[in-house]
Amino acid sequence: MAQKPSIPKGTRDFSPVEMARRNYIFDTIREVFRLYGFRQIETPAMENLSTLMGKYGEEGDKLLFKILNSGNYLKSTDHELLNAEEPSGRLTSQLCEKGLRYDLTVPFARYVVMHRNELQLPFKRFQIQPVWRADRPQKGRYREFYQCDADIVGSDSLVNEIELLQIIDEVFSRLGIRIAIKLNNRKVLAGIAELIGAPDKLIDITVAIDKIDKIGIDNVVVELRERGLSDDAVERLRPILAISGSLDERLSALSSLLADTPVGVAGVEELRAVVSGVESLGMKAQLDLDVSLARGLNYYTGTIIEVKALDVQIGSITGGGRYDNLTGVFGMPGLSGVGISFGADRIYDVLNTLDLYPENTSAASKVIFLNLGADESTVSLKAAKMLRASGIAAEVYPDTVKMKKQMAYADAMRIPFVAIIGETELESGTVTLKDMEAGNQEAVALDDLVARLS
């Protein structure tokens, strides 16, 4: 009868201590978004599959979690499809109308189009919600995880890029994580493709050179040849991939190499404007140009942004860029946008690895009143009420059990103060207050308790 319970693979429970730490991250990101005038929205966990399908490539379609129709889900299915060896996409769409959101970007685009008449452009929104992917679970990769996105749509000014980079700098500076921000621009990539005489191979080039960090320049060259690039084109590409020096030097070198491609020059100019804008405002983060940065996603049309932690070996912890046709697929073309997405789960791993949580990131009350009987706990409940009215988290041990057991609870919960009201204290109108860290205790008048613990 009794089952041994478990949770689906790739999902997690979060304990009180883990929640306190996660909330510290979410609160930090939310506060910085708010300071920059971004406004929060939320969208439903379930979207129509017609909204989600075809937006993440063929692989993405497979990784969507699909929700079985309610009621008689067999009614509109095709018997031939049902009796096939393998389920077809058509059968799946007969069985399921809805799916769980895969990211926050497509639901945001859907939101903008549906609410176009209420929205004031430019629209600066942020969104912090979980997403679901039927990926094979592995270390650091989950089937349910949070994204924290900020986007501006309806403005193509580079001021937006500058502010998003400031937000990245501010969030990681508040969290105490040292980072490098890598920048690139899709127009630079287009310029490169044009320069080497393979403008139609832009996607092949970006996909291949995106791997330069992982597999090295020589393997990238092999891959580019396999993807049909001529020897001549590959040789023209090499000097660009080998650009070195300071950020300014690299921008200059790139500018010279791309001088004959107007789109490439435009890309370098945008990079320069963003870099100089950010630098004039002051940045803690290290800023890098990385012409191999493409972030796989082919919807970026301008600036591309990626953030790496300097002190922990982990994938990118934030990314983003400019896109020019996010809402086109939903019938609203020509809306430019730029956005970033903080990877809360990886940031959580980085903070854990570096042990960077502030001291007060715990889930504990400030004080617990031990329970020594009915009359005593009545007074404790009143004292606790008084403390809470002053914003001090207080609890009363509910059961009149052995003091040792109650102290063990206080200790395990890491509650900093234990308040004892027994017979003596009842008579004298005091409370014995034990400082759990220092180990000492003192008698405090009930009326002074709020001041003592504030």
Q: Which residues are part of a known binding site for L-histidine?
A: 103-105, 133, 147, 151, 295, 299-300
Q: Could you give the CA distance from residue 386 to residue 331 in angstroms, rounded to a whole number?
A: 58
Residue 225 to residues 23, 291, 337, Cα–Cα distance (Å): 48, 19, 34
Nearer of residues 279 and 448 to a second copy, judged by Cβ: 279
Query: Within a 13 Å sphere around the CA of 176, how many CA atoms are in the beta-carbon half?
Result: 11
Q: Tell me: does residue 138 bind a second copy (CB under 8 A).
A: no
Positions 267 through 326 that interact with a second copy (CB under 8 A): 277, 280-282
Nearer of residues 129 and 252 to a second copy, judged by Cβ: 129
Judge whether 25 and 89 are in contact, CB under 8 Å. Answer: no
The runs of H, that is alpha helices, within 282-369 are: 344-354
Nearer of residues 233 and 367 to a second copy, judged by Cβ: 367
The residues with which 150 forms a beta bridge, in sequence order, are: 126, 340
Strands in 76-122 per DSSP E = 96-100
Annotate each residue in 55-94 with x if it binds a second copy (CB under 8 A) or - if it does not, as one string.
-------xx-xxxx-x-xxx----x--xxxxxx----x--
Q: Tell me: does residue 329 bind a second copy (CB under 8 A).
A: yes
* Beta carbon of residue 364, minimum distance to a second copy (angstroms, whole number): 8
Q: Tell me: does residue 352 bind a second copy (CB under 8 A).
A: no
Nearer of residues 386 and 444 to a second copy, judged by Cβ: 386
Q: Could you give the CA distance from residue 370 to residue 452 in angstroms, rounded to a whole number?
A: 18
Positions 397 through 416 that interact with a second copy (CB under 8 A): 398-400, 409, 412-413
> How many Cβ atoms from other residues are within 10 Å of residue 173's Cβ?
15
Nearer of residues 226 and 279 to a second copy, judged by Cβ: 279
Name the residue type at position 147.
Answer: Q
Annotate each residue in 154-173 with x if it binds a second copy (CB under 8 A) or - if it does not, as one string.
-xxx-xx-xx--x---x---
Residue 408's φ and ψ, nearest 5 degrees, are: -60, -40
With CB under 8 A as the contact rule, the residue among 28, 261, 371, 430 that binds a second copy is: 371
Q: Which stretch binds a second copy (CB under 8 A): 212-220, 258-266, 364-372, 437-445?
A: 364-372
Q: Could you give the CA distance from residue 31 to residue 307 in angstroms, rounded to a whole number?
A: 20
Q: Tell me: does residue 328 bind a second copy (CB under 8 A).
A: yes
Q: Could you give the CA distance from residue 334 to residue 354 in angstroms, rounded to a whole number?
A: 43
* Beta carbon of residue 445, minimum distance to a second copy (angstroms, whole number): 20
Positions 187 through 206 that interact with a second copy (CB under 8 A): none
Q: What is the total count of residues that contact a second copy (CB under 8 A)?
A: 112
Q: Tell me: does residue 334 bind a second copy (CB under 8 A).
A: no
Positions 416 through 435 that interact with a second copy (CB under 8 A): none
DSSP string over 134-157? -PPPBTTB-SEEEEEEEEEES---
Burial 41-68 (b: 16+ CB within 10 A, else e): bebebebebebbbebbeeebbeebbbee
Q: Tell me: does residue 8 bind a second copy (CB under 8 A).
A: yes
* Beta carbon of residue 155, minimum distance to a second copy (angstroms, whole number): 4
* Residue 379 burial class via C-beta count within 10 angstroms: exposed 0-12, middle 13-18, buried 19 and up: middle
Q: Tell me: does residue 132 bind a second copy (CB under 8 A).
A: yes
With CB under 8 A as the contact rule, the residue among 219, 378, 424, 428 that binds a second copy is: 378
Q: Could you give the CA distance from residue 296 to residue 268 in angstroms, rounded to a whole number?
A: 20
Q: Which stretch binds a second copy (CB under 8 A): 44-52, 188-196, 339-347, 421-429?
A: 44-52
With CB under 8 A as the contact rule, the residue among 51, 185, 261, 292 that binds a second copy is: 51
* Beta carbon of residue 175, minimum distance to a second copy (angstroms, whole number): 16
Q: Tell me: does residue 144 bind a second copy (CB under 8 A).
A: yes
Cβ-defined contacts of 20-26 (< 8 Å, 24+):
20/361, 20/362, 20/363, 21/348, 21/351, 21/352, 21/357, 21/361, 22/146, 22/344, 22/348, 24/357, 24/358, 24/361, 25/175, 25/344, 25/347, 25/348, 25/351, 26/128, 26/146, 26/148, 26/344
Nearer of residues 398 and 439 to a second copy, judged by Cβ: 398
Name the residue type at position 260.
Answer: D
* Beta carbon of residue 439, minimum distance to a second copy (angstroms, whole number): 21
Q: Tell me: does residue 140 bind a second copy (CB under 8 A).
A: no
With CB under 8 A as the contact rule, the residue among 134, 180, 426, 453 that binds a second copy is: 134
